């Protein structure tokens, strides 16, 4: 009897998440120098973490023999004052990915349905399938979540409805007033999961706290992986009503968030100057990339996040060609967009480099006919 025959059937059919390739892996695979490689594939912050976060992480590292605070007390307290909510309205995860999984633990089983956009962040679908529930994918309309169609897809079996704004992989955001009216009109048996992983980059984001204070069934998910530059330390959080947070707290591991990540996140929240500079740099970088790609006659989707979808013809071929020059981007064929690549906004030098490499690729392709 092989080991697979002992596994739950849902595990055997579970699709596998494909992460952006790490720099060291690409260097080994292609015989390139690590120092010459830039990774613009996973929407990380090209400016790293705040130096204050790094210092806090280092201070905590020397107490590595101690278990972390399982309740993430200090981080929840700081988040509460940051967002004007109560500490009990926060739940912290090992990245916001874990929070999506915790939602699955609390709410999903066979027969349940989860409504989500397509394409949208793939982990909603992975978690839905993992718990034996059904993913109801509603195509985007003009690159945006089609809220009326998502509303129409709700059935008595719907447990969760996921709205990713700004959306990954498109970078598009749902207009705040439309989002708020949509959430207010949801039936009482549905919990709305609003993924705000890129919200800090948005000029005018929706404020969903009034809905939470009114007692609506809404949870917002955020992360320290993007603007705060702490993807490697795995810290994300959700904010919602206290009752919902208590349910999520019940199903997490006792020490799900490590001490170094907690300390770094607390310090990162305090460095508002760093966050502000990163937002400004990202805005400039987005303009630089959009201008550059448009001048090459490449279509781009206007983005409110820290990445850009670019129509390159054959996404897999462009990914491969750029990778051979040491520039890692994200092909998005698995999101149903084989003609596109998703490119993270880098520093201005990194942006220049990818524009130059793309220009060279296109002229070579033109030359070859
Ligand atoms: C929309 C969205 N949500 C959540 C995540 C997960 O972030 P993390 O688990 O690093 O907090 C990502 C990461 O790429 C994302 O793009």
Residues with beta carbon inside 6 Å of ligand 1? 43, 95-97, 121, 164, 168, 195, 197, 223, 225, 231, 236
CA of 59 to the centre of ligand 1 (A): 27
| 201 to 20, 167, 238: CA distances (angstroms) | 21, 12, 18
pLDDT surpassing 80 at residue 8: yes
What is the pLDDT, as a whole number, of residue 19?
A: 77
Question: Residue 101: what pLDDT?
Answer: 98
Same domain flag for 288 and 317: yes
Q: How close is the Cα of 342 to the center of ligand 1, in Å?
A: 15
C-alpha to C-alpha distance for 168 and 170, rounded to whole angstroms: 5
Do 258 and 278 share a domain, yes or no? Answer: no
Count of domains in the chain?
2
Q: Is a pLDDT exceeding 70 seen at residue 212? A: yes
pLDDT of 165 reads 98
Ligand 1 atom nearest residue 42's Cα: 14
Tokens of 11: 């595990």
Do 262 and 344 fall within a single domain?
no
Give 38-79 pLDDT, tens digit per residue. Answer: 999 999 999 999 999 999 999 999 999 999 999 999 999 999
Residue burial 181-195, b: 16+ Cβ < 10 Å; e: rest:
ebbeebeeebbbbbb
For ligand 1, atom 12: residue with the closest CA: 197
CATH classification at residue 57: 3.40.640.10
Tokens matching residue 247: 């349910």
Q: Do 210 and 66 belong to one domain? A: yes
Identify the residue whose C-alpha is closest to ligand 1 atom 8: 95
Angle between helices 315-324 and 23-30 in degrees, nearest 10: 80
CATH code for the domain in which residue 23 is found: 3.90.1150.10
Instruction: Express each pLDDT in 273-310 by its tens digit.
Output: 999 999 999 999 999 999 999 999 999 999 999 999 99
Nearest to 229, CA basis, from 259, 201, 210, 194: 201
Q: What is the mean pLDDT of the chain?
A: 96
Same domain for 208 and 68: yes
Q: Show the domain range for 146.
A: 51-271
Cα(205) to centroid(ligand 1), Å: 17
98 and 239 housed in the same domain:
yes
């Amino acid at each position: 009897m092989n080991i697979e025959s002992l596994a739950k059937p849902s595990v055997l059919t579970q699709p596998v998440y494909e992460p952006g390739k790490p720099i060291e892996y690409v260097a080994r695979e292609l015989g390139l120098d690590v120092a010459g490689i830039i990774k613009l594939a996973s929407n990380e912050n090209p400016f790293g973490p705040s130096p204050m976060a790094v210092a806090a992480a280092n201070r905590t590292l020397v107490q590595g023999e101690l278990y972390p605070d399982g309740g993430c007390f200090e981080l929840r307290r700081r988040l509460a004052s940051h967002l004007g909510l109560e500490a009990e309205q926060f739940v912290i995860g090992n990245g916001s990915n874990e929070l999506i999984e915790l939602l699955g633990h609390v709410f999903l089983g066979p027969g349940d349905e989860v409504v989500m956009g397509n394409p949208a962040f793939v982990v909603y679908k992975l978690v839905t399938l993992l718990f034996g529930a059904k993913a109801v994918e509603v195509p985007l309309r003009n690159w945006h979540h089609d809220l009326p169609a998502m509303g129409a897809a709700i059935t008595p079996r719907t447990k969760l409805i996921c709205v990713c704004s700004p959306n990954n992989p498109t970078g598009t955001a749902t207009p705040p007033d439309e989002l708020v009216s949509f959430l207010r009109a949801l039936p009482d048996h549905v919990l709305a999961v609003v993924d705000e992983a890129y919200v800090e980059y948005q000029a005018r984001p929706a404020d969903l706290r009034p809905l939470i204070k009114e007692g609506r069934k809404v949870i917002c998910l955020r992360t320290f992986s993007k603007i705060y530059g702490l993807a490697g330390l795995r810290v994300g959080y959700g904010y919602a009503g206290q009752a919902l947070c208590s349910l999520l707290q019940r199903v997490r591991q006792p020490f799900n968030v490590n001490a170094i990540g907690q300390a770094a996140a607390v310090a990162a929240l305090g460095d508002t100057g760093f966050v502000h500079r990163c937002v400004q740099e990202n805005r400039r970088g987005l303009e630089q990339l959009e201008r550059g790609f448009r001048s090459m006659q490449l279509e781009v989707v206007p983005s409110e996040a820290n990445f850009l979808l670019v129509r390159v013809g054959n996404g897999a071929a462009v990914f491969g060609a750029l990778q051979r020059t040491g520039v890692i981007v994200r092909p998005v064929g698995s999101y149903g967009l084989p003609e596109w690549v998703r490119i993270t906004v880098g520093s201005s030098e990194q942006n220049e480099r990818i524009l130059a490499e793309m220009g060279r690729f296109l002229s070579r392709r033109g030359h070859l006919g």
